Amino acid sequence: MLVAIDDDPDVLARIEQELLKRYGEDYRVVCESSVEAGMEALRRLKAAGDEVAVALADQWMPGMNGTEFLSRAHQLFPTARRALLVAPEDTTIREPLLQATALGQVDFYVSKPWRSPDESFHRLITEFLDEWTMVHRPGFVALRLIGERWSGRSHEIRDLWARSRVPLEFHAADSEEGKTILARWGKSPDRLPVVILFDRLALVDPSNAEMVDAFAKIVPFGVNITREERTFDLVVVGAGPAGLAATVYGASEGLDTLVVDKETFGGQAGTSSLIRNYLGFARGVSGQELAAQAYTQAWLFGASFNFAREATGLRRSGEELEITLSDGTEISGRAVIIATGVSYRRLGVPSLAALEGTGVFYGAAVTEAQATQGEEVFVVGGGNSAGQAAMHLSRYASRVTVVVRGSSLSSSMSEYLVHELEATENIEIRLNTSVIDGGGEGRLERLVLQDSRRTQTVPAAAMFVLIGAEPHTDWLPDEVSRDEKGFILTGQDVLHPEHGSRRWSLQRPPMLLETSMPGVFATGDVRHGSVKRVASAVGEGSIAIPLIHGYLN
């Protein structure tokens, strides 16, 4: 359903005409001239079991303004995209629009159509519909997963492919649809999970590498290199924002570039449901979308990708650098960029470690959000990623509790996110609080929280942990200097006496992002002293390429 409210009959008629003409064959269009009629229409749709994809409202209406209407629409249809209808000549809309956006009451705004067709109007509507249908009405399913409902491995597979932007369906093995698919392919429910690719190939309990390789054979869009390819100008280890930026600029400037990642593209940023402060995206952009666009861009410039393989070793061989992968193969490059990022620190609670993937998740786990419908869930952490995860989960869960060890959010979270959290009715923030225990029968059912006053056991269907940062650097040789926490030293930090040793072997000083191993560079969150923001990682990845050209020359 597409719903629009405006009390100007001429404007409403134009909006209805534009919506019906462009979307009438695929969506029902409901246009009302008052807030009361609009709310009645929404309640009627809810009672009938219909779904609203997009809701539009003029701000200046008698009784209840458009922002309030869209907030109430959100309560009935939490996943609907919401926009204020704005007249170009309206000079009074600025303050209420900024406030509504800051508080998360609307997703964006759209200018009222003034001609037909009005492509500026339709651009926003089609973007909204694309985002909504990708989750709720995927037209093409590339992968079907049949597994146990509360299985950590099933979660890992869903997360891997969802972050890769591959449309998938999950069916519990004991559901009617799951039983039917297993019988059709002659597979037993005793060995799960079963992965069906493009309805052409069935894999039983596959590894990530087996799935990715099988996928690449069916859709060879530059994923996973051929066995003959072993030598490159540049090898990038890590396909997060820093690695992808380096890949785009390296490949576009003529370097034969390979990217290796133990999972898929996007890194930690790929799990973010909405990044609102990234340059150039006024409405914000999901981490998945940003990573998918960067991956496609790099591939179109000729970069190669090797996913589901982890780098396990690095050594110099003559003038080249050799990287050993988890499958035993070796890749050589004239230069290497380490962009492996960081992972969220574990809570260290044994009872919860046993439930990882079955209600306990490290990272935003966007793929699990719909499964929290009507449940009470917890987000542990006080950074931007935790705030974004809480806002996304609030669309589905009945209640989201943000657990923060510190006494304030403002020191670690962007101001716009703090305001959004505080304004969202079903989000509670608990400061000075820690998770000390929890449990459940086969899945998470309860948590034990401790603050300065008491210890409390609370019901919990899911917990998403986004705390701290641990770098992926254990695989590197001693020649690559790191600080006491494992972050890689670069540039002048390599030579600084406070870091213990001087391993630099050349007459020239190390370049800005160069490590203590000449020709090996580090970018993004894995680097000592880096700013933990997506834009900073992208910037470092891009400026690494001219440094590498200098090194190679």
Q: How far apart, in whole angstroms, are the C-alpha atoms of residue 43 and residue 199?
A: 40
Q: What pLDDT, in 10s, does the model give residues 61-86?
A: 988 899 999 999 998 998 999 999 99
Closest CA to 26 of 60, 62, 51: 51
Q: How far apart, in whole angstroms, are the C-alpha atoms of residue 282 and residue 416?
A: 13
Closest CA to 375 of 395, 356, 391: 395
Asked whether the beta carbons of 480 and 526 are under 8 A apart, the reply is no
Q: How far apart, in whole angstroms, are the C-alpha atoms of residue 260 and residue 225?
A: 10
Longest CA–CA span in the chain (Å) reads 77
223 pLDDT higher than 70: no
468 pLDDT higher than 60: yes
Residue 425 burial (CB count, 10 A): 10
pLDDT at 305 (0 to 100): 93
Tokens of 424: 């969202």
Residue 286 burial (CB count, 10 A): 23
Q: Where are the alpha helices (DSSP H) in 164-266?
A: 176-184, 208-218, 241-252
Q: How far apart, in whole angstroms, are the C-alpha atoms of residue 547 and residue 1?
A: 52
**Radius of gyration, CA atoms only, the chain:** 25
pLDDT at 222 (0 to 100): 58
- Comparing 268-272, 347-351, 449-453, which segment has the lowest mean pLDDT? 268-272
Q: What mean pLDDT do residues 196-217 have?
A: 94
pLDDT at 519 (0 to 100): 97
- Find the angle CA(213)-CA(313)-CA(495) to the nearest 5 degrees: 135
Q: What pLDDT, in 10s, does the model give residues 239-297?
A: 999 999 999 999 999 999 999 999 999 988 888 888 888 999 998 898 899 999 999 99
Give yes or no for a cis peptide into 117 (omega within 30° of 0): yes
- DSSP calls for 253-286: TT--EEEEESS-TTGGGGG-S-B-SSTT-TT-B-
Q: What pLDDT, in 10s, does the model give residues 44-65?
A: 999 999 999 999 999 999 888 9
Residue 70 burial (CB count, 10 A): 25
Element (H, E) at 85: strand 81-86
227 pLDDT higher than 60: no
Question: Which comes out higher in pLDDT, residue 223 or 457?
Answer: 457
Closest CA to 312 of 328, 290, 296: 328
Asked whether the beta carbons of 514 and 335 are under 8 A apart, the reply is no
547 pLDDT higher than 80: yes
How many angstroms from the chain centroid is the CA of residue 161? 12
Asked whether the beta carbons of 474 and 485 are under 8 A apart, the reply is no
Asked whether the beta carbons of 393 and 369 are under 8 A apart, the reply is yes
Tokens of 57: 């409202």
Tokens of 476: 């590197």
In b/e form, how buried is each residue of 341-352, taking b as 16+ CB within 10 angstroms? bbbbeebebebb
Distances (CA, A) of 405 to 155, 451, 452, 479: 27, 9, 11, 37
pLDDT at 225 (0 to 100): 66
Asked whether the beta carbons of 421 and 429 are under 8 A apart, the reply is yes
Q: What pLDDT, in 10s, does the model give residues 6-26?
A: 999 999 999 999 999 999 999
- State the pLDDT confidence band at 537, using cuts at 50, 70 and 90: very high
Q: What mean pLDDT do residues 437-456 have?
A: 94
pLDDT at 456 (0 to 100): 95
* Long-range contacts, stretch 157-162, CB < 8 angstroms, 24+ apart: 157/193, 157/195, 157/208, 157/211, 158/367, 158/368, 159/271, 159/365, 159/367, 159/368, 160/208, 160/211, 160/263, 160/264, 161/264, 162/288, 162/366, 162/367
Tell me the CB-side half-sphere exposure of residue 65, using CA atoms within 13 A: 11
3-state secondary structure of 329: coil
pLDDT averaged over the chain?
Answer: 92
Q: What pLDDT, in 10s, does the model give residues 500-512?
A: 556 788 999 999 9
| 54: β partners | 2, 81
Q: What mean pLDDT do residues 184-195 have?
A: 96
Closest CA to 530 of 491, 478, 474, 476: 491
Asked whether the beta carbons of 76 and 51 are under 8 A apart, the reply is no
- Helices and strands of the chain, counted as H and E runs: 14, 26
344 pLDDT higher than 90: no
- State the pLDDT confidence band at 226, using cuts at 50, 70 and 90: low
Q: What pLDDT, in 10s, does the model give residues 139-169?
A: 789 999 999 988 889 989 998 998 888 989 9
Tell me, yes or no, if the pTM score tops 0.85: yes
Element (H, E) at 342: strand 342-343
Residue 189 burial (CB count, 10 A): 15
Q: How far apart, in whole angstroms, are the C-alpha atoms of residue 302 and residue 269?
A: 23
Give yes or no for a cis peptide into 138 (omega within 30° of 0): no
Tell me the CB-side half-sphere exposure of residue 407, using CA atoms within 13 A: 1
Q: How far apart, in whole angstroms, are the C-alpha atoms of residue 488 and residue 492?
A: 12
3-state secondary structure of 247: helix
Residue the block writes with tokens 């050799």: 322
Q: What pLDDT, in 10s, does the model give residues 393-414?
A: 998 899 999 999 999 998 889 8
